[in-house]
A and B are shown apart, each in its own frame.
Chain A
Amino acid sequence: MGGRFGYIGQRVIKAVFVILGIIVLNFLLIRLAPGDPAMVLAGEAGAADPKFVADLRREFGLDLPLWRQLAIYMQGILSFDLGFSYRQKTPILDLIVQRLPQTILLTGTALTFAIVVGVSLGALAARNVGTWWDSAITTLALLVYAMPQFWLGLMLVLLFSVQLGWLPTFGMNSISANYTGLDHVLDVGRHLILPSLTLGLFFMAVYARLTRASMLEVADLDFVRTGRAKGLSEGRIQRGYILRNALLPVVTYAGLQAGYLIGGSILIETVFAWPGIGRLAFEAVLVRDYNLLLGVFIVASVMVIAFNLLTDVLYTIVDPRIELGA
């Protein structure tokens, strides 16, 4: 066990350097984009004069040399201060903390749905390979996989909102209704269905295909034959031998996906007006809100690194033959 913690410690130290690198790189990259926040605000105001632009630059510290801006920013980071949003005049941390839970709710729901349903369907197909069950699941998965997400989303909206009038098409809750307690939870749940389904269906298809292929591959291996020869029940072989071994690629993929999903699905959050962090980042790019964008990048990269680490640890649980650090 000491090995495991040593390994994790090492990875964390490496991660700190990776994140510092990401900060410096992004700090410089975003400044390559033409225009700065002062210019964008001046443009949106529909009227401007030299004092207006100069005042904003001074306020944002953009009149300082680049290295000083970077030094000031890094100083803040070391004391866990992500700075202020130029535009929203709010601490970056507040903005991220406001938005992150919504994104985690959306992507968490989508991911759970995708894994549970996807792995079940994949396992069902693999167990019944060659039957109509298999064909139906494989076809469905292929169909969903091939559909562009935005189109799928539109179709779901047309069916469930426009035709049937069951589900709301945007937002996270019904503002004017002032629901509390259980009603509030149900209200958010109703708003959650369409975006998480749109986001999750694609990944469900991926997990179904991945699980099916992986299980079929494992099913031919020697230890499965040995298990059968020992007279183990088919259920035990399927779950304990085949599925468990077939799950490794699924865990790998889920780990990767979870990391990226925290960055938010900009498309889904935009189409369904979901107040998540992906949209926050996207809007920050457009208005050159440097600090906000860097803040989101930092949180996202911490998450990617954390999920990668978690995946490595999960490997050893799913398959005890794997050792960390080896």
Chain B
Amino acid sequence: MASRRQVLGSAAGLLAGATLGLQRTARAQQKRGGILTAILNPEPPLLVLGLNQQAPTQLVAGKIYQGLLRYDFDLKPLPSLAKAWTVSADGLTYTFKLEEGVKWHDGAPFTAEDVVFSCVKFLPEVHPRARATFDRCESITAVDRFTVAFKLKAPFEPFLYAFLPAGAPMMPKHIYDGSDFRANPKNATPIGTGPFKFKEWVKGSHIHLVRNDEYWKPGRPFLDGVTYRVIPDAASRALAVETGQVDLAQGTDVESFDVQRLAGLPHVELSKRGYETVAPISWIELNHRGAPINDKRFRQAMMHAIDRDFIVKNIFFGLGRVAHGPINTATRFHDAKAVKRYALDPRRAMALLDEMGLKPDAGGVRARIKMMVLPYGEVWVRQAEFVKQALRRVGIDVTLESNDAGGWVKRIGDWDYETSFDFVSQFMDPAMGVARTYISSNIRKGVPFTNTMGYVNPRVDELFDAAPKQTDAAKAQAMYSELQAILTEDVPVVWLTELEFPVLINKKFRNVNIDANGPNSEFDEAHLA
């Protein structure tokens, strides 16, 4: 007998399939043709999505490679290379039915063998996030030519959220099997299943992708191609949008102070969606290994001292929301009621510092800390300067430290910092992108994006371990709610903003930004107006 989850899973697949079918008939008359020109910054090192998942790689390679699933703006899984899926009653076996008739760009057929190869051999070798995911599997097998079964060692409810193109891109077995993946000469000409094929990459200038005429979705894509232009200067990028020389800017392409101005232009449309799969939170990362930061009251005082509303309004110009806790409102299991809120209250902050015995000296200074500025653009410098002033008002004197990206990552990874600005992606489920910051088993020197703070709380470890194993959603929610309560009491980091990123699209294109993967998605529905 089919379990409730099984039925739900298939129903979701069918429903999504039906909706897609409707859309297909409705859009059958779409104009074909046109080349969409988008900004690319910085230039990615390579375009093989299995080997590299940094932001600019995802933008371009997201049109070339695909995952088994897509996710809508509310993070509901949608069919992609997998047309349907079921979950066994015990939550241990995930079975995916693949689209038939899918071809790699070189003409070879895409089958269950490619999925098994990707998830057993390729990705665990080179992709840290996928390695963590597929380490949970006892076996990954091809049931038949177009069916794959993942058998987990223990239940892991968020498993369905691991199949984003960047989380688990499908790689061609016939090209990579038996080779050194990183050194494969075919890496220069990526081969995927996506709607656009790699055509040309002139380093420092542009990458050109052309329509895949053999694409598996009938009648798609509509566009003839997508061109990515490398524009390293922020002002030049804004100008390129303004003058219509590019049709699409996304992420941090345009400085936040330029966004509203560009959005007001008659030919430009602004969308703030399309980053729900990453949903990063920006925070002040704190190294718990020394005083006064190891005292919870000091961290709480910082929360009270900083006007985060001001940051959202005046530094990010309305892009984003105040972050009150560790789980983004766009991520699963967020619970607004569970988080302890810290209102802007400098007096309360000073009272907490008094309680710690940190009295102001003649200059009004109670404590001195060092803070590293994020080396990723002007907006982070502004935020740092604002935070410095806000903390000074309660007697915390901040020395800002600047590094370039290489130096910054090195110092965070090596715990060679006192406090630092940072932002970290959540990847849809707390087990994917939130737990890694707070669990003590992830304290690993020399590796960025781990628990670099050295925060240890056994109850937090326990809950993060237990929650994803729950197949009962209510029980999982209760655990995550407790976690949010504990973490907001402990304040391991000073949460600042749930980041939103602008997607600026020339109005002559439609259906560009249609799911939670936003500008990184395939663009197989995008068309000229």
Contact = CB atoms under 8 A, between A and B. Distances in A.
Contacts of A59: 182
A234 to B, nearest CB: 49
A271 B203 contact: no
B447 A48 contact: yes
A168 B37 CA distance: 14
Nearest to B231: A273
A34 B411 contact: yes
Contact of B52 (A43, A45, A49, A285): A45
Contacts of B225: 176
A49 B441 CA distance: 12
Contacts of B482: none
Contact of B245 (A88, A169, A287): A169
A89 B46 contact: yes
A33 interface: yes
Given A88-B203, A165-B243, A270 B46 contact: no
Q: How large is the interface on A (under 10, 10 to 19, 20 to 34, 35 or more residues)?
A: 35 or more
A286 interface: yes
Interface in B468-487: none
A39 B448 contact: yes
Interface stretch (B89-97, B401-409, B458-466, B490-498): B401-409
Nearest to B432: A47
A79 B98 CA distance: 51
B406 A42 contact: no
A211 to B, nearest CB: 33
Interface string A32-51: 01111001111111111111
Q: Max chain A CB contacts within 10 Å: which of B35, B46, B202, B229?
A: B202
Contacts of B208: 175
A287 B132 CA distance: 26
A271 B37 contact: no
Contacts of A272: 236
B496 to A, nearest CB: 18
Interface in A108-127: none
B54 interface: yes
Given A175-B229, A272-B236, A49 B131 contact: yes
A46 B409 contact: no
A157 interface: yes
Counting chain B CB atoms within 10 Å of each CB, the highest count among A39, A47, A99, A283 belongs to A47
Contacts of B239: 157, 161-162, 169-170
B243 A161 contact: yes
A176 B38 CA distance: 12
Contacts of B35: 176
Interface stretch (A179-187, A196-204, A248-256, A274-282): A274-282
A172 interface: yes
Interface string B433-449: 00010000000101111
A255 to B, nearest CB: 27
Given A52-B128, A162-B242, A170 B236 contact: yes
Contact of B129 (A43, A47, A99, A170): A47
Interface in B9-60: 35, 37, 42-43, 45-46, 52-55
B413 A170 contact: no
Contact of A169 (B43, B52, B202, B240): B240
B203 A168 contact: no
A273 B230 contact: yes
Interface in B75-130: 126, 128-129
Nearest to B166: A46
Contacts of A171: 205-206, 229, 231
B227 interface: yes
B235 interface: yes
A36 to B, nearest CB: 7
Contact of B128 (A48, A89, A176, A276): A48
B407 A34 contact: yes
B518 to A, nearest CB: 16
A172 B231 CA distance: 11
A34 B406 contact: yes
A47 B235 contact: no
Most chain B CB within 10 A, of A44, A50, A279, is at A44
B417 to A, nearest CB: 11
Contacts of B203: 88, 90, 95, 98-99, 275, 280
Interface string A149-165: 00000100100011001
Nearest to A102: B204
Interface string A266-304: 000011110110011001011110000000000000000
A157 B235 CA distance: 11
Contact of A50 (B53, B183, B405, B447): B447
10 nearest A-B residue pairs (beta carbon): A275-B204, A43-B409, A35-B406, A35-B410, A34-B407, A44-B54, A275-B205, A87-B45, A273-B231, A49-B128
23 contacts: A34-B403, A34-B406, A34-B410, A39-B406, A39-B409, A40-B405, A40-B409, A43-B413, A45-B128, A46-B53, A46-B425, A48-B449, A49-B131, A49-B447, A51-B131, A53-B447, A168-B245, A175-B37, A175-B227, A275-B230, A280-B204, A285-B404, A286-B405
Given A176-B37, A270-B232, A285-B404, 20 more contacts: A34-B410, A39-B409, A40-B405, A40-B406, A42-B409, A43-B405, A46-B55, A46-B425, A47-B425, A95-B203, A170-B231, A170-B245, A171-B231, A175-B208, A273-B229, A275-B203, A280-B203, A280-B204, A283-B42, A287-B405
